Chain A
Amino acid sequence: MEKFYEIWKKFGKNFEEGGKMAKLSSFYDAFDTFLFTPSTTSRRIGAQIHDGSDSKRTMIIVVLALVPALLFGMFNVGYQHLVATGQLATGLTCALWWKAFGFGLLAVLPYIIVSYVVGLGIEFTVAQIKHEEVAEGFLVTGFIIPLIVPINTPLWMVAVATAFAVIFAKEVFGGTGYNIFNVALITRAFLFFAYPTHMTGDSVFVRTGGTWGWDSGMSAVDGFSGATPLGVLATTAETSAMPVDFWTAFNGLIPGSVGETCGWAILLGACLLLMTGVASWKTMLSIFGTAALTAWLFNVCGPDTAVANYPWYMHLVTGGLMFGAVFMATDPVTSARTECGKWIYGALIGFMVIVIRVLNPGYPEGMMLAILLGNAFAPLIDWCVVHANINKRMKRA
């Protein structure tokens, strides 16, 4: 390791001021800090607290926390494919298990590559132009994007949406740490509004055709519907419909965006985030609590529609609610920062997601819009909390 470190540092000389590749210094810097603890420390002025955990490490933890959801998502993509094409008629054998995972791996991998290549490409370019370090924010964003898009979205659309989100939701605001809205969600929102036919409906969440030629020529068996549970509810006339039972939904073997379906995989990630203190338990708890309460209120005294009658505990495990609450609403940049504000912020999101689901049949899955709305209000919430505190102390003084 030390040997490598020496070679690496020697190589780094090329990038210093006046060196051969000085223009690409941010490239070197990006990889340098990715691999090693930064050698520079802040100037010794005033009181400072030092910690080995810089934002790059924080991002890595989030990525690790996302891995279970990704792995399960890959399996589920393959699993839904097998269900749709009728290959599971004889039950899930070991061979089919591996086929499902392999199929899903091949299907999801291009999205990860596209998301990272486009997003990091823009990040690196901007860093060169502005002569800044490459910011690490996209590590997580690029990982989340493949997890929140339907598996049939054309790759070029993902590329366009990622470019749009990185430029207009992040770089124009000043880059990582300055964005108002969650960049991954802006990517999804762009796709949702720009290409609605590829983001909603029965056929976008399950891949019935092949992947790289594998299993192509298959078609969906008769009577198969690839609609998500909430999608079914939004359109059914039956007011007490229950498309799936609780444990199926919690285990995640249902159609949906790649990473959002499996409850326990997301909770596993949530544990890691909470143990390392990266995400706030207050935000998560507040979202789950308020969403459950709101859904329960609709159960008790809402309109007589399928979504309103949908049990509150089912609302928690279907759609993107869990994924959004754990990985996206807790984004430290775009969420509220005051401790009291986190409760209010979470409550706003939890309330809005159920209201959107129940009252607007055009948006059966409300989590994306609810979090973006929460993002928009976060600064205001913080401002109110801070000023309430100031007023309280003024009175005391």
Chain B
Amino acid sequence: MALSQKTKEAFLGPLNINNPVLVQILGICSALAVTVQLKPALVMGISVTIIVAMSNVVVSLIRKSIPARIRIIIQLVVVAALVTIVSEVLKAFAYDVAMQLSVYLGLIITNCILMGRLEAFAMTNNVLDSLMDGLGNGFGYAWILVVVAFVRELFGSGKLLGWQVIPDSWYVANGGFYENCGMMLMPAMALVLVGCIIWAHRALNDKENK
């Protein structure tokens, strides 16, 4: 089945040109909080992707029946229900990750990306496009998280996904010269890294535009 141009655009746009984090600067709060290690960042990225896609679909399905006056509340209820379900599932099947994500999982409800997509896209588009838009935005958010978390875990803890990458013998404590950068463990550094990605993104896209 060939997808229409619009459907493709709904999926591909948010990955690069119209990225929710890099261009719209949405969802920054959670991007700072869960990117200390790669694993929670991956889980967060997947959770948000699932929730955006599903809530987009649900809202798109019922979009014609939603009373305009309470549409924001309805959207919020849909998102909150989905977030609660995901967090319950995580607590049951990935307990330590759920503990690490702690409050930020619940805060997906207030993640601006979700409400933004529901209000701006799902309310006026059909189910397939909404699904694609949700997946695109979810992945667009997730890849930023993964890149930031990769750098932070590698330089902040010397590990990747919990595996020691930088040899133990390099560390000062073992007679080497190396030391993990504690700054990487702080939220401030995530902001700097996101800034760097935006910098590179702008520089690349500006060149293309010329």
Q: Do chains A and B touch in the complex (CB under 8 A)?
A: yes
Chain A interface residues toward B at CB < 8 A: 154, 156-157, 160, 168, 172, 190, 193-198
Task: Give the contacts of B178-210 with A (CB-CB under 8 A).
Answer: 179, 181-184, 186, 192, 195
B184 touches A194 (CB 8 A): yes
A179 → chain B closest CB, angstroms: 15
Listed from nearest, the 7 A-B pairs whose CB atoms lie closest are A194-B183, A194-B181, A194-B182, A193-B183, A195-B179, A196-B182, A193-B182
Q: Which residues of B contact A160 (CB under 8 A)?
A: 181
In whole angstroms, how far apart are the Cα atoms of A160 and B179 in the complex? 12
Contact pick for B179, options A157, A168, A172, A190, CB 8 Å: A157
A-B contacts, 23 of them at CB < 8 A, read A154-B172, A154-B177, A154-B179, A156-B177, A157-B179, A160-B181, A168-B192, A172-B195, A190-B183, A193-B182, A193-B183, A193-B186, A194-B181, A194-B182, A194-B183, A194-B184, A195-B179, A195-B181, A195-B182, A196-B182, A197-B172, A197-B179, A198-B179
Chain B: CB-nearest residue to A196: B182
B150 → chain A closest CB, angstroms: 18
Other A-B pairs, 7, CB within 8 Å; known A156-B177, A160-B181: A157-B179, A193-B182, A193-B183, A193-B186, A194-B183, A195-B181, A198-B179
B85 → chain A closest CB, angstroms: 38
Chain B: CB-nearest residue to A161: B183
A162 → chain B closest CB, angstroms: 14
Q: Which residues of B contact A197 (CB under 8 A)?
A: 172, 179
In whole angstroms, how far apart are the Cα atoms of A190 and B186 in the complex? 11
Q: Which residues of B contact A154 (CB under 8 A)?
A: 172, 177, 179
A-B contact count (CB 8 A): 23
Chain B: CB-nearest residue to A191: B183
In whole angstroms, how far apart are the Cα atoms of A284 and B24 in the complex? 44
Q: Which residues of A contact B195 (CB under 8 A)?
A: 172
In whole angstroms, how far apart are the Cα atoms of A190 and B181 in the complex? 9
B186 → chain A closest CB, angstroms: 6
Chain A: CB-nearest residue to B179: A195
Chain B: CB-nearest residue to A193: B183
B50 → chain A closest CB, angstroms: 35
Q: Which residues of A contact B182 (CB under 8 A)?
A: 193-196
B203 → chain A closest CB, angstroms: 11
A51 → chain B closest CB, angstroms: 37
Q: Which residues of B contact A190 (CB under 8 A)?
A: 183
In whole angstroms, how far apart are the Cα atoms of A286 and B110 in the complex? 45
A200 → chain B closest CB, angstroms: 12
Q: Which residues of A contact B183 (CB under 8 A)?
A: 190, 193-194
A186 → chain B closest CB, angstroms: 11
B187 → chain A closest CB, angstroms: 11
Task: Give the contacts of B4-46 with A (CB-CB under 8 A).
Answer: none
In whole angstroms, how far apart are the Cα atoms of A160 and B180 in the complex? 12
In whole angstroms, how far apart are the Cα atoms of A8 and B40 in the complex? 60
A207 → chain B closest CB, angstroms: 15
Q: Which residues of B contact A193 (CB under 8 A)?
A: 182-183, 186
Q: Which residues of B contact A156 (CB under 8 A)?
A: 177
A155 → chain B closest CB, angstroms: 10
Q: Which residues of B contact A196 (CB under 8 A)?
A: 182
Q: Which residues of B contact A198 (CB under 8 A)?
A: 179
Max chain A C-beta neighbours (<10 A), residue from B179, B181, B183, B195: B183
In whole angstroms, how far apart are the Cα atoms of A194 and B192 in the complex? 14
Q: Which residues of A contact B184 (CB under 8 A)?
A: 194
In whole angstroms, how far apart are the Cα atoms of A193 and B182 in the complex? 6
B98 → chain A closest CB, angstroms: 28
B7 → chain A closest CB, angstroms: 38
In whole angstroms, how far apart are the Cα atoms of A172 and B172 in the complex? 32
In whole angstroms, how far apart are the Cα atoms of A154 and B178 in the complex? 9
In whole angstroms, how far apart are the Cα atoms of A127 and B115 in the complex? 43
In whole angstroms, how far apart are the Cα atoms of A193 and B179 in the complex? 12
In whole angstroms, how far apart are the Cα atoms of A203 and B172 in the complex? 14
In whole angstroms, how far apart are the Cα atoms of A160 and B184 in the complex? 13
Max chain B C-beta neighbours (<10 A), residue from A172, A190, A193, A198: A193
Chain A: CB-nearest residue to B188: A193
Q: Which residues of A contact B179 (CB under 8 A)?
A: 154, 157, 195, 197-198
A191 → chain B closest CB, angstroms: 9
Q: Which residues of B contact A157 (CB under 8 A)?
A: 179
Chain B: CB-nearest residue to A157: B179
Q: Which residues of A contact B172 (CB under 8 A)?
A: 154, 197
In whole angstroms, how far apart are the Cα atoms of A172 and B199 in the complex? 10
Q: Which residues of B contact A172 (CB under 8 A)?
A: 195
In whole angstroms, how far apart are the Cα atoms of A395 and B86 in the complex? 61
In whole angstroms, how far apart are the Cα atoms of A168 and B186 in the complex? 16
Chain A: CB-nearest residue to B183: A194
Residue interface bits B137-162, CB-to-A below 8 A is 1, else 0: 00000000000000000000000000
B132 → chain A closest CB, angstroms: 36
Q: Which residues of A contact B192 (CB under 8 A)?
A: 168
In whole angstroms, how far apart are the Cα atoms of A9 and B25 in the complex? 50
Chain B: CB-nearest residue to A168: B192
Q: Which residues of B contact A195 (CB under 8 A)?
A: 179, 181-182
Chain A: CB-nearest residue to B181: A194
